[in-house]
Each structure stands twice: as C-alpha cells, then as structure tokens.
Amino acid sequence: MCGLQTENPLEVQIKLIRKYLKLKIMADNESFHGHPQERNHVYDLFKRTVAHGESHSALMIGPRGSGKTTLINSVLQQISKEVDLSNDALVIRLNGLIHSDDKISLKSITAQMQLENAVGDRVFGTFAENLAFLLSCLQSGADRRCKSMLFILEEFDMFCHVGRTQTLLYNLFDITHSAQAPMCVLGVTNRIDVVELLEKRVKSRFSHRHIFIFPNEDSEGAPHAKYRDRLVNTLCLPRTKTVATPKKKGRSRKSTVTSEDLMEIDQETTSLPDSILSRHTDLQNLDQEFLQDWNAHVTGLAEEQKVLDCLEKLCYYTVNEQIFRNVLFELVSKLSVNKPYIDVSDLSAIIDKTVAPEHRVKLLQSLSILELSLVIAMKHGMEIFDGEPMNFEMVLHRYTKFSNSNSSTQTVPRPVILKAFEHLQELEIIMPVRTTDSIYNTTDTTASRVQKEYKLFTLAIPSDDISEAVKNFKALPTEISHWYNNSVV
C-alpha cells in the first residue's frame, strides 16, 4: 500500500480511479448544481458590476454545506470566461475566520489589490482615509476609469464585531453608494439574523438584497433522489474526452511515472478557474473499457434499493453537502485491488457511522468496570434527587452500598475510586457545577477552593446512552447490569 508499484494493471487502474475520484470529491469547488434562480441573481450582480460599472451590495444566506461558496466560485468562473476578469475587475475575498479584525482585513485588502508598495510606510488617520487612498491608487495607476471590485466576505457575521464599530462594513457599503468606484459587496453567511447585527448606519447603507439558499428548496420528489443523482454524478468518470494512450497496459511502472509527471503540471493549473475535470491529464492512463465498466457499476449501484435506503437515511439526518462528500470520500478511499468495486454494505456502514456515531456509548464502553459503576451510582443518585448535582462522597456512598451488598465484588481502596472519579471528570462524562461557596468573598471563584471530594458534579451523559452502553457492554459482570436495571436501592 505504501508506494508499492506492481505490474498489475488492475491495481494501477484502481489507484487512478481512486485518485481521480478523491480529487473530484475534495478539490472540485466549482461545479454547482441546482438553484438556477439564485445563481442567476449572483451572476447578474457580478456581471453588472464588472461590465457596466454599477455598484451593488447583497447578502447570501444559507446553512452550512449548502453550496454558497461553490456557487460563487462557479459564477466567477463563468464570468471569467465571458469577460477579462483579471484586467477589468479585482476580486477581493475576505474570510471572517481569518480576517478577524479590521486592521488585518485592510492589510489583506491591500495585499490583494497588490498595492503594498504604494502604501509603504504611510500613516493614515482613519480607516476611511486608508481605503480611499487605496481606491485612488487604483484610479491613478490605470489610465482609464477605476477597475470594478468584487468584495466577497465569507463568514460575514464575523465582520459584524459585537461591541466594536463595524468600520470596514461601513466603509465598504458607503463606497457602494458613492460613485468613487464600481463595487459589489457580497456577504456570505449562515446566520439568518445577520442584518440585526449591523449597526444602524451600516444597515441603512446596505441594499437589503438577500439571496437565500436552502438545500432542499428546488428538489422535486423525494429528497434523497437528489443525493442519488449526486452520487452517480460524482462517482462516474467522464469517458468521452480522453484519447486512450496505448502504453498503459503492461508497462504500468512506466505509465505511473509519466502520470506523476503529468500530475505536476496538472496540479499547478488547478488554481485556475477552469474546471478541474478537463485538466486531469492523468486520466489518459485510465483504461476506457475499465471506465465503462466502472460507470456501469456506479449507475447499477444507484438503482439498488439498499443504496437508496441508505441515502434516504442520510438525508433524514442531514442535508449538508460537506458531510455527503465526507461519506463519498470514505467510500472511495476503501477501494483497493482486493476490493475493486464499491460495496453496498460499506456505504451503509459509513452512513450509519456518520449519522449516528454513538461515540458517547463507545466512550462509556471503554470505561473500566469501576468507572462505569460510578456512573451508574451517580445516575441512580440523580434519579432519586431529581437531578440534583452530586459530589464524590455521595457517589462513593452509593457505590459502597452496592459493593457491600455484593460479596463477589472486590473492594477497591478509596484513593483508586477517587482517581476513577477524576478520570470520568477528565473525559467530561461528569461536569462540575459552578457553585458560589460561602466563606470566601463572592468575587473569588471558589469552585476551585472546595475540596475535590465535595465539588458538585452533574452527569453530562443522557441516560439513554448509559442504558445502551450497559446493554451492549462486553463481559460486564451480571451483578452490575442487574444493579443498573433494578435501579434505585
């Protein structure tokens, strides 16, 4: 597996397919499906800004993984085909995660405008002055009118700093109203209430153009049909556009080397807004027959009832495109020589794992029996006292009561139990309660100054998970499951 190169043509083919599909799943951020209306809207805005020098502002709102960024990428790519984007316009992309304050944003804007030299060591009084200077640089630098600018602000809500002034937003929106320079400001966010976060002066300058993207809006019929189409769409390989080179069979060692060479070229060009699909020259090494076979396999897969059931299950839980891609990625990464085709049971296993990971149950099951007993003791205690938090002494008391009534259990010394309790705390199975404990003045956060035996804790795990864990615990002593089920003693 680790860089082994064999003569087996099947292995080479599988490797190529795997690589190709992985690229398609992970690196393709341009091909966008559905939402034609919204896409046209964005396209229209950008086009008018670039071609006619109009100024606009808009907000794109949609949940995570609904394809907002992909939509923008695909629009930009389309526009770049139609007009000379790199000469006529400047695309400035900011991300709220990275550009966490206005200073950093401005630095990044300067860099993306390639004006670092012009700014030099100049000191500006205000943010607005600085921005105006940048704009004027653009104007004077070029012989004609100022370039159009497309500002794309991802994680837009992060720019609405709570408690600080929204200088950047104010200035950007202000420019869209003045004729200084044609500019389109597009905010991208997943917060539907984002307008409420804006300052009054910012809000009044915003055009209130909203573009909503909801994952299931435009799908007719069953929602999982969309997933099925996407599955086929993603996993099928384009067959027509390549001319198979005759050298691929037999001399696979040679062909992998060449494919890697081609890959180098290929990777440098992926940053170009051209579709990644057409650039994958290593596809040439793929055997046409094999591809046909593969595509037939994928379409056949999509017909199977079991696959449909799995996809339906997935879309009951989530409509997040990124999660779907993760599922596909895991699925594809399981391909190997011994398993050249996608296995339906794999798909269902991965989907089960994704939608209901039950890591919490597994976490409980990897506790030692002593620790699990403490969890059970605590659960019983909290049942009796209506969810009142408990401290170590109370849990210990319950536990010793249990272990005394069962002569078969070995007694464990107190320090070891305390350590087990601390282990639970470390795993955040139990969480400390914030208490304000008397003698020390209230400003002092006293939780740390109470002895650890008396610190109050609550159980941070739902009781269903505990039942599940106890039920399926391997080699659990019977007295413990009995104790659990017969509960309150």
Partner 1 sequence: MEQLQNKVPCREEQLNDLFNLLGDGDECLPCSIFISGSMATGKTLCVNSVLRCLNYKHVIIDCIECYTPKIIFETILSGLEDEEIEVKCETLMDLVNGLNRLQETRLGYDPIVLVFDRAERLRNLDANIMSAFLKLRELCNLNICCIFVTHLIYENFNFRRGAREPIKLYFSNYNKEELFRIIFLQQKPFIHHLLVSYEVDNEIKGELEKPELFANFLNAFLSVFYRPCRDLIELQHMACVNFIKYCEPIIKNEISATDLTKLWRHISPILKSSLELLYLRISDAKSVKPSPGKENSDTDSTPHNFENMLKEELTSTKTFAQSFELPYYAKFLLIAAYLASYNSPMEDKRLFMKNHGKQRKRLQQIKAKAKISEKLNTQLGPKVFTLHRLLAIFYAILEEKIGLTSNLLAQIATLVELKLIAGSKEIDLDTAKYKCIVGYDFIAAVAQTVGFNVRKYLYDFM
Other Cβ atoms within 10 Å of 122 Cβ, number: 9
- For residue 152, list its beta bridge partners: 93, 186
Range 189-218, binding partner 1 (CB under 8 A): 190-191
Binding piece for partner 1, criterion CB under 8 A, among 137-145, 214-222, 245-253, 329-337: 329-337
With binding defined as CB under 8 A, does residue 243 bind partner 1? no
Locus of tokens 């993984």:
65
Q: How many alpha carbons lie under 13 Å from residue 44 in its C-beta half-sphere?
A: 9
- Count the residues of the shown chain that bind partner 1, applying the rule CB under 8 A: 88
Range 370-429, binding partner 1 (CB under 8 A): 370, 381, 384-385, 388, 390-391, 393-394, 397, 410, 412-413, 415-417, 419-420, 423, 426-428
Distance in Å, CB of 97 to partner 1, minimum: 4
Distance in Å, CB of 269 to partner 1, minimum: 11
With binding defined as CB under 8 A, does residue 188 bind partner 1? no
The one-character DSSP state at 244 is P
| Of 79 and 158, CB closest to partner 1 | 158
**Could you give the CA distance from residue 307 to residue 348 in angstroms, rounded to a whole number?**
7
Distance in Å, CB of 386 to partner 1, minimum: 11
| Of 298 and 420, CB closest to partner 1 | 420
With binding defined as CB under 8 A, does residue 356 bind partner 1? no
**Could you give the CA distance from residue 192 to residue 60 in angstroms, rounded to a whole number?**
9
Contacts of 152 (CB under 8 A, 6+ apart): 72, 91, 92, 93, 94, 186, 188
Quick one: which of 26, 38, 25 has its CA closest to 188?
38
Contact 399, 374 (CB under 8 A): yes
Locus of tokens 């793929």:
286
| Of 1 and 123, CB closest to partner 1 | 1
Range 18-37, binding partner 1 (CB under 8 A): 18-19, 22-23, 25-27, 29
Range 99-128, binding partner 1 (CB under 8 A): 99-100, 104, 107-108, 111
Contact 302, 231 (CB under 8 A): yes
> Would you give the binding string for partner 1 spanning residues 146-175, x where CB under 8 A is met?
---------x-xx-----------------
* Candidate residues 326, 348, 425, 458; the one interacting with partner 1 per rule CB under 8 A: 326
Other Cβ atoms within 10 Å of 445 Cβ, number: 12
* Candidate residues 64, 209, 247, 254; the one interacting with partner 1 per rule CB under 8 A: 64
Binding piece for partner 1, criterion CB under 8 A, among 137-145, 236-244, 308-316, 445-453: 445-453
**Could you give the CA distance from residue 52 to residue 46 in angstroms, rounded to a whole number?**
10
**Could you give the CA distance from residue 133 to residue 154 in angstroms, rounded to a whole number?**
24
| Of 294 and 421, CB closest to partner 1 | 421
Burial of 309 (0-12, 13-18, 19+ CB in 10 A): middle
**Could you give the CA distance from residue 217 to residue 225 in angstroms, rounded to a whole number?**
13
| Of 49 and 69, CB closest to partner 1 | 69
Binding piece for partner 1, criterion CB under 8 A, among 48-56, 64-72, 116-124, 242-250: 64-72
With binding defined as CB under 8 A, does residue 132 bind partner 1? no
With binding defined as CB under 8 A, does residue 475 bind partner 1? yes
Tokens (6 digits) for 349: 């296993």
